[in-house]
Structure formats: C-alpha cells, structure tokens
Structure 1
Amino acid sequence: IAGPVREPEPISYVTLQEQRCVLSWFQGWTAAQRERFLQDLLGKAVPGKVCTLLDSLSTLQVKDKLPNIFECQLQEDRNHFLHMLEERDPEFVSHFYRSVAGTAGRD
C-alpha cells in the first residue's frame, strides 16, 4: 500500500533566480554551446559513467552512506530546473534523457 503523495519542498528564491539566469543564457546559446551544456549536465547526472576531466576529479570519492537532506534538496532543485528547461526547449531535454538512458550498462 502506497503512502500519501509528498509535495516537493519549495525551491529557494536564490536557487530559482540562478536557474532563471541560466535559462536566460540558454536561450542565446548556439547549437555547439548547447551541446557543451548537455555534456556538462550528463556529467552531473551520471558522473560515474559520463564525465569530463574536471568532473572525474570530483567523482573519485567513494560514498557508502545514504544521501543527506542537502543532497536530496539539490536533486529536487535539479528536477525543477529540468522541468523549466523542458518548457523552453523540449527537444533539448528529450535529447538529454536519451543520452542519460544511453549510459545504461556502461561502467
């Protein structure tokens, strides 16, 4: 039996402003700049599978505990950002999700 549906925590004002700023930049980026942004998003979404040189340095630590509340809040903020980005450019976000799915089974 499923429990009650939990409403997402409200996003902070500062985070919302930062996300709006990035979305504003995104509108003016070229296809090549958007592709670079996509690669950065992938590196953050699946850091153990898709990573740039800089990202790989931050993924060397081993985590053997459950995520803390801060990490959970960051995930909610990321999901909110992807939702806002999808409203602006659904094809880009679709391409992002296909790229994430394409990492399945990779080490």
Structure 2
Amino acid sequence: MSWFFHVNQGSNQQPPDRMPSTTDNLSSPSLTDFPLPPQGSVPLSLETLSCCSLNSRASREPMPLSYVTLQEQRCVLSWFLGWGTAQRERFLQDLLGKAVPGKVCTLLDSLSTLQVMDRPPNIFECQLRLWTQWFESWSEEERNSFLHILEERDPIFVAHFYRGVAGTAGKQ
C-alpha cells in the first residue's frame, strides 16, 4: 500500500560550486588500479545494469532505486539509528506531515514559521533539513522503499507511523 503522495517535483538541484579543471592535480587511474574480474564470469549487459529498460517486462517490475537515492536513504537510516527518543519523535511527526500533508501540523513546520534564529542549528536540525531536501526529490516508490527499509530496522517506530496515518483519517 502506498502511503506517500506523489509530490510535484521541480528541478531543485543546485549546480556544483566548481567543476574540476584539467589543471587540477587529479591523477588518472590506470588499468592496474582496478581489480580483475573473477575467472569465468560473464559481463552484464547494459540493459541489466540500467535503471530503465525498453522492454515491456520492465514496465511491470518496480524500478530499482538510483544509487544516489539509495545512499541518501542509507544516510538517513544511519542518523535515525543514532537518534534518541525525542529526536525520533520529532522525526515521526515530520514523516507524518510528509505522508499526509495538510492533515498534521508538525512541530518542525511550526518552528520554521517563527524565523527566530538566535543560535546556529544543531546537527539534528541540519539532518532534518537535508532529509527534507532528499525526501522531496524522491519518487513515491522511493519513499515507500525508505519506509520499508525503516520498518525492517525498527518495526515499532513504523507501527507508530501507521497508527499516526490512520489517526488522520477523516481530518481535513
């Protein structure tokens, strides 16, 4: 079952500050820097390695996560596993706000409208900001995949999430 709504996505990616030039001290790898393939192995076809295939079979199968999305999700999961109870509760409220927008007023949304910055953000607040940026760029399928990964690591947390989503039924 799909819990996240597809978010209208724009191109929010910023170009890199600086592209490496040919004058940078970057050494080119040589063929000896790469490991040899195992004996008797058959190289994969480009279609097998690609995220999307042109054949009809691929349209019925879920698209694999991109490498970047997978790394983002692993990073958020790593943060999650290091967070305390209060931080997980705040993350839960943020996740609920993303899953059922307009039905849950999250603490993070309320605080962001105050625009009072008498101190620099702490690491957790920076993590939540980065999480939000990444989450907004994920497709609905990628969001559901993240929830599934999270459920494997902490089923109790995800059960609280599902109860929170169910609790918004009928609210406008």
Partner of 1:19: 73
Tell me, in whole angstroms, the C-alpha distance in 1 between the residues paired with 2:160 and 2:60: 29
Tell me, in whole angstroms, the C-alpha distance in 1 between the residues paired with 2:147 and 2:140: 11
Partner of 1:42: 96
C-alpha RMSD of matched pairs (Å):
2.3
Over residues 10-49 of structure 1, what are the superposed CA-to-partner deviations in whole Å (9 max), with x where a residue is unaligned?
A: 1110000000000001111001100000000000000120
Structure 1 unmatched runs, 5+: 56-70
Tell me, in whole angstroms, the C-alpha distance in 2 between the residues paired with 1:51 and 1:9: 32
Tell me, in whole angstroms, the C-alpha distance in 2 between the residues paired with 1:99 and 1:32: 16
Map 1:1-12 onto structure 2 (within 5 A).
Answer: 6-12=60-66
Report the TM-score when normalising by structure 2: 0.48
Tell me, in whole angstroms, the C-alpha distance in 1 between the residues paired with 2:171 and 2:90: 21
Percent sequence identity is 77
The question of 1:84 aligning with 2:138 is answered no
Partner of 2:130: none
Tell me, in whole angstroms, the C-alpha distance in 2 between the residues paired with 1:97 and 1:91: 10
SS of alignment partner, residue 139 of structure 2: helix
Tell me, in whole angstroms, the C-alpha distance in 2 between the residues paired with 1:54 and 1:33: 15
Tell me, in whole angstroms, the C-alpha distance in 2 between the residues paired with 1:34 and 1:45: 16
Give 1:51 shift.
2.9
Q: Quick one: higher RCO (CA 8 Å, sep 6+), 1 or 2?
A: 2
Partner of 2:164: 99
SS of alignment partner, residue 51 of structure 1: coil
Give 1:7 shift.
1.6
Q: Which has the larger radius of gyration?
A: 2
Name the structure where helix makes up a greater proportion of residues.
1
Partner of 2:87: 33
Tell me, in whole angstroms, the C-alpha distance in 2 between the residues paired with 1:8 and 1:37: 27
Partner of 2:128: none
Conserved? CA contact 1:19–1:81, under 8 Å: yes
